[in-house]
Structure 1
Amino acid sequence: MRAATVAVAALLSLTACGGRATGEPPMSTPGEARWAQVRFAAPLPRAEPALIQIPKLKVSAPVTRLGLKPDGTIEEPPLSRPNLAGWWEEGPTPGEGGPSVIIGHLDADHRPAVFYGLKSLVRGDRILVTRQDGRTATFAVERIERVPKTSFPAEKIYAEDIDHAALRLVTCGGAVDPATGRYRDNVIAYTRLVQP
């Protein structure tokens, strides 16, 4: 399963964005004091996500499954539902051991979408995922990274060999390519399962 995940992961960086250019918010500074108080949690059993909440950004969004399109690229949430996030169903579920991945649009139809404020999160900010088993997995942001789509770190995002439960949130960022109308970069939030 991991090999298949890595094989398609690079394609995510080409498709998973609104590309309707509202511009992105400014980057925030790290919250080192909050990170020092974080206590990590043991992984949970497998259970699919139902809702993602990012209190700092006032985000509360349903989560759908994402698989592959007929052309082999990864699906993305429809632009007609800008508040919908998508979980990559070939990977771990949020809270399960390993890197789970949820993607969402930065914008849609010139309006901010579900992950518009992702870049403004800082170390220690919380992300909550309500799972279909009734549990809520709480994650703390470790770091935010912006990378060119041409060098998207697919293996690190989807198949990194880690000994804990992690969640990676992916959206677009950077400048818009005038030729395509799409953002040139991806913004990635790396998070880790913590005690509530």
Structure 2
Amino acid sequence: MTAPTPSGASSAPPPAPTPAVQVPVSPATPAAPVDAVAPVRVRIDAIGADLPVTGVGVEPSGQMELPVDPAVAGWYRFGPDAASTAGHIMLAAHVDAPGYPIGPLARLRDIPAGAPVTLEAADGTARAYAVESVTFYEKTALPTAELFARDGAPALVIITCGGPFDPTTGHYRDNVVAIARPR
């Protein structure tokens, strides 16, 4: 005797098993980190600027750290390096500082569009750029997300202070930002 089937149940055969799929297996070990190629010098002949470059980080205030000497540019070492093919290589220097002469970037505001810029790297290579634009931004309106881009079209961004000096705060109101593209 066979067991009764509940009403509405079918006696159809069970479905065929799902075919096996080959799943690629990769090691869980991450790739070895690649050492950054630090920029070591930037030259802008149109304004007579020739500065050594040193790696910098972030101040406790959240701003980009800068070398005290206006004759030395800081490279934001947490962004693209001198060998990067995407994103913005960020360099900045003071326009002046107590106890130092006026810095080489004091004339950054005067650099003409198309002026060549050379960035030398720690690996002995040099990359040529051409200035695309020079813009004044009030420090409170500086488009940091755009300027510090880590991806997208490659560029060299050079920043210094400018605009009116406020003797009360001891700071300039503006930043002068030059953007140069690879040639």
- What's the TM-score once normalised by structure 2's chain length? 0.74
Alignment of 1:8-87 (within 5 A): 47-78=37-68, 81-87=69-75
CA 1:148–1:71 in 2, change beyond 3 Å: closer, same or farther? closer
Please, what is the CA RMSD of the aligned residues? 1.9
Q: 1:72 to 1:174 in 2, by over 3 A?
A: closer
* TM-score with structure 1 setting the length: 0.69
List runs of 5+ in structure 1 lacking aligned partners.
1-44
Q: 2:87 aligns with which of 70, 81, 98?
A: 98
**Alpha-carbon distance in structure 2 between the residues aligned to 1:61 and 1:190:** 17
Q: Say yes or no: does 1:171 pair with 2:149.
A: no
In the TM superposition, what is the alpha-carbon distance from 1:71 to its structure 2 partner? 4.8
TM-superposed CA distance for 1:68, in Å, is: 2.1
**Displacement of 1:95:** 4.6
SS at match of 1:127: strand
Counterpart contact for 1:95–1:165, Cα < 8 Å: no
- 1:134 and 2:134 are equivalent in the alignment: no
Aligned mates of 2:56, 2:93 — CA distance in 1: 11
Greater helix share, 1 or 2?
1
CA distance in 2, matches of 1:118, 1:73: 21
Count residues with an aligned counterpart: 147
- Give the greater-gyration-radius structure (CA): 2
* CA pair 160-68 structure 1, distance change in 2 beyond 3 A: closer
Q: Secondary structure at the match of 1:123?
A: coil
Runs of 4 or more above 4 Å deviation:
none
Q: What residue ranges of structure 2 are gaps of 5+ in the alignment? A: 1-34
Matches within 5 A, 1:114-193: 114-159=104-149, 161-162=151-152, 164-193=153-182
Q: Which amino acid aligns with 2:79?
A: G
Residue 89, structure 1, aligned to residue 72, structure 2: no
